[in-house]
């Protein structure tokens, strides 16, 4: 039979192990969320530049064929790349959380 002290020691040890795992999970998710904020900011910047270029082409240059403009193509390509990067980061967060849930479910009580 375990003594009270052994039970307390075991409980505290399990608590710290659980807290360390949760802290690791939150740190990994936090880093990716920080990356997502930066990516979204960059997408917004690219969208603003694209909108400004399209506006200038239509109003100032009277050019209706914006899809063939090299600057427009460059901005669209950059936005697509950033959107893919954003999706990757969101998928990474989901995978981290799924892995953490799996670890919790597989732990014996």
Residues of the chain with confidence (pLDDT) below 50 = none
Reduced 3-state DSSP string for the chain: CCCHHHHHHHHHHHHHHHHHHHHHHHHHHHHHHHHHHHHHHHHHHHHHHHHHHHHHHHHCCCCCCHHHCHHHHHHHHHHHHHHHHHHHHHHHHHHHHHHHHHHHHHCCC
Give the model's pLDDT for residue 100: 86
Give the model's pLDDT for residue 18: 83
Q: What global pTM score does this model have?
A: 0.76
Give the model's pLDDT for residue 1: 58
């Amino acid at each position: 039979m375990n003594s009270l002290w052994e039970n307390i020691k075991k409980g505290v040890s399990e608590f710290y192990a659980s807290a360390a795992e949760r802290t690791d999970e939150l740190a990994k998710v936090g880093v990716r969320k920080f990356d997502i904020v930066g990516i979204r900011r960059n997408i917004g910047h690219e969208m603003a530049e694209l909108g400004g270029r399209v506006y200038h082409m239509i109003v100032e240059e009277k050019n209706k064929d914006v899809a063939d403009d090299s600057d427009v193509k460059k901005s669209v390509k950059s936005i697509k790349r950033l959107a893919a990067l954003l999706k990757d980061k969101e998928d990474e967060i989901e995978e981290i959380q799924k892995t953490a849930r799996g670890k919790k479910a597989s732990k014996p009580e």
